[in-house]
Structure 1
Amino acid sequence: MAHLTALDDAAWQGPWRAVRVGEKVVLSVGLLVTALVSPPWPGCVLVAIACVALTCGPARIPPRTLAIAMAPALTFLVIGGVTVAVVLGGTPTPNAFFAWGPLWADPATVSKGVTAFSRGVSGTLSVMLLATTTPMVDLLTWLRSLGMPSPLVDIASLTYRLLFVLLSSALAIHAAQTARLGRISVATAASATGSLLIRSWAHAARLQAGLEGRGYTGDLPTLPRARSASPAFLATALAVVGAVWAANLAVILT
């Protein structure tokens, strides 16, 4: 279970938890917007490099944790980039790289695929920079302070917490079945899924009963952690984003 909760553990234990959420959002969103509107070179490449350097450097997130978090996204992005680069059907252009049955690709389609992939990778890394340095409870508390309706914040908070309950139940059921049977078959997987749903429903019912017993009135406020402003962090964030934009403009104007 350790590798499944590594992202959350890193956010709680990292040194950037002492930084205000709004300041980290400025950095992450600034890099994300830059990744979405920049060309693959140099914009997206520089955004990706900056995100990895900041995440594994000053934020002190283990590279393995970042790699585990990025692996599913990279798989999806690779598939998406290939489907954009390779055309199904139509008439291949004269300068096509290949034409294999209904599949073909030319420089224009490959360029679109590379652009989609590079923007996806750099944008995902920008979001991971915030996810690996900011616990969900801090982010939800910050959203509440911005005026987000309390019911929405509470639903998001409960859903997030119940995911860990669901994960714990799933791992416990899997370990029990493996110990008894030595392997997991289709039949045992179906049985485990049913048990998981029943246990999750029971957990939710106990949670509801506990809230009612404590006089729940529709609001679950969390006491915010006091954090002082960090002008140096904000200045560094703006400098990083500004440097990427300066490099973009330099390439575009040359």
Structure 2
Amino acid sequence: MTSHQTTIDDAAWASPWRRRRVGEKVLLSVSLVLTALLTPAWPGCVLVAAVSVFFIVGPARIRPGLLLTVMIAPLTFLVMGSLPVAFQFGGTGWGIGGLRISPDGLGTALGLVAHGVAGTLALMVVATTTPMVDVVTWMRSLRVPDPLLDVASLMYRLLFVLLSTALAVRQAQVARLGDAASWRRRWRAVADTLGSIILRTWARATALQRGLEGRGYEEAMRTLSPRRQRNWGFVCGAVASVAGVWAACWVLS
């Protein structure tokens, strides 16, 4: 049993783009996000989404199935958030009960979904190719205060502690109940499962804190980072891709 978080992190470590400088990937991702925000849904957002998917599954070598899996949650959120915009009370047209689809609202809702999907895919360019440790190291080079980075790094580690504990408890529950357990028994076990997860996570987090204290932590939790040379070809390719989207929007609009 795996999770989106661990799968993304494993993919980021294995991606050939992990050898790229973080600043270069951030430049590409942020440029695509701003393009998705400032250009119309057609053709801007469509082209941003296409360019992002190309970079992710092409040069970055991220599995298309993984990208589809991690996009399910944000896509669901975007669709649910756009429903109040697409429907209205009263009026004419197709609907259910007193709710009716508004033609103007439907267009606005589709535009919101398009902007959201394009922006999320642009963010995935960094998320699927850059481990958290590289992000923290890059932010330290930007003179972000060490206490903020340490809190972010610890929270990230604690998420993995919580995740591994939940997976272990879940596997134990499946092994004990099997597939023959009734729904009532399964729901009765949910409370016990949550209690076990909280207690075991608290114990492991306390052990992590004691480990830091035993290591003599005082200033910052620094990690070694390989030196990466600036790749001007990558930078020029990123700039050309974003410029191509803007040029296509200018021609097709």
Which structure 2 segments of 5+ residues have no match? none
Q: What residue is the counterpart of 2:159 in the other structure?
A: 163
Question: 1:99, CA displacement in angstroms?
Answer: 5.0
Letter in 2 for 1:102: G
Do residues 40 (structure 1) and 36 (structure 2) align? no
> Separation in 1 of the partners of 2:78 and 2:52?
17
Which residue in the other structure is 2:118 paired with?
Answer: 122
Q: 1:198 to 1:103 in 2, by over 3 A?
A: same
Q: Which residue of 1 aligns with 2:225?
A: 224
Question: What is the distance in 2 between the residues matched to 1:148 and 1:31?
Answer: 24
Q: Which of 86, 99, 102 is equivalent to 1:103?
A: 99
Alignment of 1:1-254 (within 5 A): 1-2=1-2, 4=4, 5-87=6-88, 89=89, 91-92=90-91, 97-98=93-94, 100-182=96-178, 183=181, 185-252=186-253
CA distance in 1, matches of 2:176, 2:101: 52
Distance across 2 between alignment mates of 1:126 and 1:97: 36
Name the aligned partner's letter for residue 200 of structure 2.
Answer: R
Matched residue of 2:227: which SS? coil
Kindly indicate whether the alpha-carbon contact (under 8 Å) linking 2:161 and 2:205 is maintained by their aligned counterparts in 1: no
In the alignment, the residues of structure 1 paired with residue 95 and residue 52 of structure 2 have an alpha-carbon distance, to the nearest angstrom, of 38
Deviation of 1:153 after TM superposition, in Å, equals: 0.6
TM-score, normalised on structure 2?
Answer: 0.93
Q: CA RMSD in A?
A: 1.5
Question: Which consecutive unaligned segments of at least 5 residues does structure 1 have?
Answer: none
TM-score by length of 1: 0.93
May I ask how many residue pairs the two structures share in their alignment?
A: 247
1:3 positional shift: 5.0
Residue identity opposite 1:195 in structure 2: S
Letter in 1 for 2:195: G
- Which deviations, in whole Å up to 9, do the C-alpha atoms of 1:165-184 show, x marking residues without a partner? 21111111111122122246
Partner SS for 1:54: helix
